[in-house]
Amino acid sequence: MPRGLPPVAGFKKGASGNPGGRPKKTPEQITLEEKCKEMTPEALATITQIMTDGENERNRLAAAQYVIDRGWGKARQEVVGTMDHNLAVTMITRRIIGGDGPQSGN
């Protein structure tokens, strides 16, 4: 492990990484969500109108894609590539501690 970096600490077995859980929603957040849900039929009607009668193809496609993504979830995207993981770790380390590592005299 490079000098100057703390050891990687994982979670202790059986211990939660977030023992307090998700923060509770504020009354304002709850009210906003309720109002948005109430307006869902109108919003969907607007999106549908743009999808079918939009002024240009770009808007119609965006509205259609929005409906599909919301209804079915976004399509998975496979990430393909190759990388020298040692080089990646070295680059991240240099960015964290600055300079070019021990050989630069930092």
pLDDT of residue 71: 85
Element (H, E) at 21: none
| Domain extent listing, the chain | 27-74
Has residue 101 got a pLDDT over 70?
A: no
Mean pLDDT computed over every residue of the chain? 79
Has residue 104 got a pLDDT over 60?
A: no
The number of CA neighbours under 13 Å toward the Cβ of 32 is 5
Provide the CA 23 distance to its chain's centre, in angstroms: 19
What confidence tens digit (pLDDT) does each residue in 51-88 have? 999 999 999 999 999 888 888 888 887 777 676 667 77
What confidence tens digit (pLDDT) does each residue in 15-26 have? 777 778 889 999
Separation between Cα atoms, residue 60 and residue 8, nearest integer Å: 49
- The pLDDT > 70 percentage for the chain reads 77
Provide the CA 22 distance to its chain's centre, in angstroms: 17
